[in-house]
Amino acid sequence: MKLKVGLALGSGGARGWCHIGVLHALAEEGIRPDILCGTSMGSLVAAAEASGILDKLEAFARGLRQLTIARMIDIDVNSGGLIMGNAIMQQLHELGFKDTIAALDRPYMAVATDLYAGREVWMRDGDLLDAVRASIGIPGIFAPVFHNGSWLLDGGMSNPVPVSAARALGAEIIIAVDPNSKLYMPRHGAPDLTTDSNGFGLDMLLQNMPAAVQPALKSYLEPKKTRRRTPGYLEVLSTSIDVMTDQIRRSRLAGEPPNVMVELDLRDVTVLEFSKADLAISRGYAAMKAKMPLLLAQL
């Protein structure tokens, strides 16, 4: 009897483009996951796969440039985040995602986090892209989403790699993909904090603000130019999210181990560098290929 294969795609912001490469590697071996679960960017890629439009999402991702990303950013500092996310979701709608989770060709679940209850929320029905939008709500960046009486944020705050969700949907062999697994491995020397970093999306945010407030916002957000550069707002936020989700991930996976753990080294991609899809996708493909013998031995 064929075992049900579940795919648990983890959070990681822009690093989550790696999931596209993972799915390509599986397809080359004729492996089509029976169950798809995702947190944050993992929920988006899983939704594209279940909607039959992974190729369109990949083309969209590979075509992203700083300018095109900037045009999709709708700033509203009164929304509970910096970005409303409506313009981004409109672009995703145009790719052809299925309207509802019920319309997908396989069981699917997106994981979000209830802001006030402090618990994970499993989204298994209703509007598909509404579920994705709730799951990708990076705190401090994207505005939270009001859904069924609760304010929801990024699922990475509660379940960064949703192995438990895949198991709950009936998966017997679970492949888990963690885009953040190598973030805190030993380095040769300390990170360079003496020069400015443009990897955290400051320019994109500023381009979408009224000209009159750009100088003040830039002064607040950008790294301070001291003898030893002080990290800027977006850098502190991005790195803090990494630290938080790493601790949660370690705890969750210790009690909920998958059958195959695919670990990525994407330390050179921040959570906001969405224009680095080519790099992330190629790393995801290579990482899944490396674990293929282990997977095939269990099928």
Q: What is the pLDDT of residues 178-209, one digit of tens each?
A: 998 876 655 444 444 433 444 445 555 555 55
- The answer to whether position 196 is within a domain reads no
Number of domains present in the structure of the chain: 1
- The answer to whether position 146 is within a domain reads yes
- The answer to whether position 161 is within a domain reads yes
Q: How confident is the model at residue 86 (pLDDT cuts 50, 70, 90)?
A: confident
Among candidate residues 11, 43, 135, 154, the one labeled active-site is 154
Q: What is the pLDDT of residues 1-38, one digit of tens each?
A: 789 999 999 999 999 999 999 999 999 999 999 999 99
CA distances from 237 to 58, 232, 233 (A): 27, 9, 6
Please give the model's pTM, rounded to 2 decimal places: 0.83
- The answer to whether position 218 is within a domain reads no
- The answer to whether position 36 is within a domain reads yes
Known catalytic residue at 40: yes
- The answer to whether position 206 is within a domain reads no
Q: 77: which 2 tokens?
A: 């500092």
The parent domain of residue 266 ranges over 5-185+231-297
- Select the more confidently predicted residue: 243 or 127: 127
Residue 258's contacts (CB-CB under 8 Å, 6 or more residues apart) are 8, 161, 163, 166, 174, 175, 176
- pLDDT at 90 > cutoff 70: yes
| CATH number assigned to the domain comprising residue 293 | 3.40.1090.10
Measured CA to CA, the distance from residue 141 to residue 60 in angstroms comes to: 21
Question: How many residues are listed for the chain in this entry?
Answer: 299
Among candidate residues 11, 34, 40, 158, the one labeled active-site is 40
- The answer to whether position 214 is within a domain reads no
